[in-house]
Homo-oligomer: A and B are copies of this chain.
Amino acid sequence: MVRIGILGATGAVGQRLIQLLEPHSEFDIATLTASPASAGRTYADAAKWRADSPIPESVTDIEVVETDPEAIPNDVDLLFSSLPSDVGAAVEPALAEAGYVVSSNSSNARMDDDVPLVIPEVNPDHVNVLEVQRDERGWDGALLKNPNCSTITMVPTLAALDEWGLEAVCVSTLQAVSGAGYSGVTSMEIIDNAIPHIGGEEAKMERESRKLLGDFDGAEITLHGMDVAASCNRIPTIDGHLENVWADTRDPITPEGAAEAMDEYPSAALRSSPDQLLHTFNDPERPQPRLDRNRGNGMAVCAGGFRDTSDGIQYNCLSHNTIRGAAGASVLNGELLLEEGWV
């Protein structure tokens, strides 16, 4: 069992990490960190547990420590981070320097040249950017990122289509409120309403997708050449990001060909990877957030509504934003790091 820690364990993604890591057969929760206000309290006391399953008994009495290299035991090998991005930017490099391997969901440093941004089923080879990172920064530990929740929903479907030569992607998202954290969207803002912009989200999708689908030649990552334009909307759903995608391709593509490529797209041989990564539907009214977000224990991506367009195809995709799109993505990256010998 690998001893692990969770950074930012009291927040919404932190609670999801605990739901996923507590029963995990390879990982053993050894330490939980949070802000100074929570340090010294038991986890049950510090976290206002709001998940839809009871708090696991094994974590209730763990004493929360500060998110600080000094406070984390030396025998912890792997850290999962769901820190606010400004806190992540301040503390993650220090932890990596101090020798910890960090699988992070925080948005800081995702586009740094020597920081791998990884979806294990899509670009597992990018994990080797860590060699460049260690060389350049002189770190004993490592820092690896998973992408933003809206990016992670779309990119596996694009990966399945890239054999036709992706040239341009237009994407409109319908995102659940949990993506903004527990208090990120007030009820007055969203009941009987929608918000047509999510600060920073459009830019994240436009940049991160090109890095994820880019080539790594052993020395550096070349961004994919496709043009990506995103429009991000918040809607009144709890979990599950639904996205409308238009993909223009160099070679002619058919809806049937696209669906077949997705159905056959391989999953990864990691514990948390679903048996089938991409599920496609014939019914154009699917996928839907409430009905389909839990496919593959929340780790699958669903797609449907394939239609011809003048320059390619359009379709819809969906994933569970706090599992596949956040906590589960970090756990999966932890499994990859372990598998590849970085932990």
* A→B interface (CB under 8 Å): 12, 50-54, 168, 170, 172, 174, 177-178, 182-197, 202, 227, 229, 231, 233, 235-238, 242, 244, 246, 284-292, 294-295, 304-305, 307, 309-310, 314, 316
Q: Name the residue among A178, A186, A316 with the largest chain B CB count within 10 angstroms.
A: A186
Contacts A50-B291, A231-B172, A236-B236 given: A188-B177 contact, CB under 8 Å? yes
Nearest CB in chain B: distance from A254 CB, A: 16
Which of chain B's residues have a CB closer than 8 A to the CB of A197?
Answer: 284-285, 305, 316
Contacts A227-B310, A284-B197, A285-B196 given: A238-B191 contact, CB under 8 Å? yes
- Say whether A235 contacts B188, CB under 8 Å: no
- Say whether B196 contacts A304, CB under 8 Å: yes
Q: Name the residue among A168, A184, A231 with the largest chain B CB count within 10 angstroms.
A: A231
Which of chain B's residues have a CB closer than 8 A to the CB of A194?
Answer: 174, 235, 237, 242, 288-289
Which of chain B's residues have a CB closer than 8 A to the CB of A233?
Answer: 174, 242, 244
Question: Could you list 15 A-B pairs, sorted by A, with CB under 8 Å?
Answer: A50-B188, A50-B189, A51-B291, A52-B292, A172-B244, A182-B186, A191-B237, A192-B236, A192-B238, A192-B290, A193-B290, A194-B288, A194-B289, A195-B285, A196-B284
Nearest CB in chain B: distance from A171 CB, A: 9
Which B-chain residue is minimally distant from A189 (CB atoms)? B187
- Which of B236, B284, B286 is within 8 Å of A237, CB to CB? B236
Q: 14 more A-B contacts (CB under 8 A) besides A54-B295, A195-B285?
A: A12-B188, A177-B188, A183-B188, A185-B188, A187-B191, A191-B192, A191-B237, A193-B237, A194-B242, A194-B288, A196-B244, A196-B304, A197-B316, A229-B314
Which B-chain residue is minimally distant from A284 (CB atoms)? B197
Q: How far is the CA of A229 from the CA of B168 in the complex (A)?
A: 15
Which of chain B's residues have a CB closer than 8 A to the CB of A53?
Answer: 294
Contacts A237-B191, A305-B231 given: A170-B291 contact, CB under 8 Å? no
Contacts A50-B188, A187-B185, A235-B235 given: A193-B227 contact, CB under 8 Å? no
- Say whether B196 contacts A288, CB under 8 Å: yes
Nearest CB in chain B: distance from A179 CB, A: 10
Q: How far is the CA of A195 from the CA of B197 in the complex (A)?
A: 20
Which of chain B's residues have a CB closer than 8 A to the CB of A52?
Answer: 290-292, 294
